[in-house]
Amino acid sequence: MFTNHLLMLFTPLAERFEFANIPGLELWKFLNLAIFIAVALMVLRKPISGALVSRGEAIKRELDLAAAESAKAREKLVEVESLLARADSDVSEIRTQAQQEAEAERQRQIAAGDNDIARLGAQAAREIETARKLAHKGLQQFLASRSLEIATQSVKRELRPEDDIRLIRERMGELRRAQG
């Protein structure tokens, strides 16, 4: 309705300009749009500006929050990097300790091997001594028995029958005296 009154006002003007009557290009449509936009801006200026201000503040809060989170992330990154650096030193320390333990174990095994060698050497020496004594005893027995055999053979070869009778009589006399 308001636009119709405005159109009536500008009608004589529209008749003067023939391009205003071109079909599909009615000037009143553009005028109606301009008026609508002007009224909408007047009515909605405060709510729109308030919304824009609140949106700006929300964006600032989000930026501050993002900055705080970024700072926390940087702190966490520094902490993780220090942990990683410490992990490298820990790995190095563990590697050194493992090498020391391996060296100590190697030395212990060498000492145990040396002890085993000494123990086995002493045991072998005892066994050799025992074997030597047994061989010596066996040799003595062999020599004694062989000496007895040789002496018996020698006596049998050199003993005459009259010496045999004489020896028997001497032994019998010794037996009588012993019994008697």
> Residue 36 is inside which H or E element, if any?
helix 27-158
List the single range of 12-26, 50-64, 101-115, 152-166 with lowest mean pLDDT.
Answer: 12-26
What's the total number of domains in the chain?
1
In this prediction, residue 17 carries a pLDDT of: 55
Distance CA 125, CA 53 (A): 105
Q: Examine the pLDDT at 56 and tell me if it is beyond 70.
A: yes
Q: With cut-offs at 50, 70 and 90, classify the pLDDT of residue 8.
A: low
For residue range 76-98, list pLDDT tens digits in order.
Answer: 998 888 888 788 788 888 889 99
For residue range 121-166, list pLDDT tens digits in order.
Answer: 899 889 999 988 998 898 888 888 888 888 888 877 777 778 778 8
User: Residue 55 is part of which domain span?
Assistant: 2-179
Contact present, 14 and 8 (Cβ < 8 Å): no
| pLDDT, mean of residues 101-130 | 91
| pLDDT, mean of residues 22-33 | 73
Distance from chain centroid for Cα 94: 10
pTM of the shown model: 0.37
Q: Is the dihedral angle over the CA atoms 27, 29, 33, 38 positive or is it negative?
A: positive
Q: List all residues 6 or more positions away from 129 whose beta carbon is below 8 Å from its beta carbon.
A: none
